[in-house]
Amino acid sequence: MHDPRLGRHRAPVVGSAQGRILEIGFGTGANLPYYPSGVRRIEIVEPDAMLSQRARKHIADSGREVISHALFAERLPFDTDSFDTVVSTFTLCSIAQVDQALAEIRRVLHPSGRFLFLEHGQSPDPRIAKWQHRLTPLQKRVGGGCHLNRPIRTLIEHAGFAIDSELVAERYVERLPRIVGWFTSGTATPMKG
């Protein structure tokens, strides 16, 4: 999911970030080139305290201030309603307690804030989904906890988010095997109440 060719899928998602921004699962920093030019500071959550050399290079090249928090998304130490934008790209597949992480994202997101996401997940094709279910135990071991079979849109909606129907896209991505190529991207806002 760090392939540079995926930039065309990252750009429309990350490109609308604004205000105080939190990125969940920073990884190599592949999103940095796609933030709007006016974004000068990003806070990130990454379980590994030591950012990779690739991530450090992306940060240096970006000219942005990146504040790193070495922790897991299931327990965010930030105040309620403290971020205008939360970004997650290719991260929800590997979070152990994804429901808890989404609840935390909703908690720290301002009521008028936006959750921007680009994730791979469970295919709507039952034949492919069957293989995703079969292969997920192996994929979790070799792919850093990655689940092939998470129903991303359902998870986000069940966490109390309203997904903007005009900004959501669900599709197979070209040149990727269908078992990993079902992408869901969009914008969600916390539901009232």
Question: Residue 192 — very low, low, confident or very high, per pLDDT cuts 50/70/90?
Answer: confident
Are 39 and 66 in contact, with CB atoms under 8 Å apart? no
Give the residues across from 161 on adjacent strands.
190
Q: Dihedral, CA atoms, 36, 186, 30, 152, nearest 10 degrees?
A: 160
What are the tens digits of pLDDT across the range 143-160?
999 999 999 999 999 999
The tally of CA atoms less than 13 A away on the side-chain side of residue 82 is 10
**What's the CA angle centered on 104, arms 102 and 109, to 5 degrees?**
95
Mean pLDDT over 98-123 rounds to 98
Q: Report the topology of domain 4-190.
A: Rossmann fold (3.40.50)
Question: Residue 47 — very low, low, confident or very high, per pLDDT cuts 50/70/90?
Answer: confident
The domain spans of the chain are 4-190
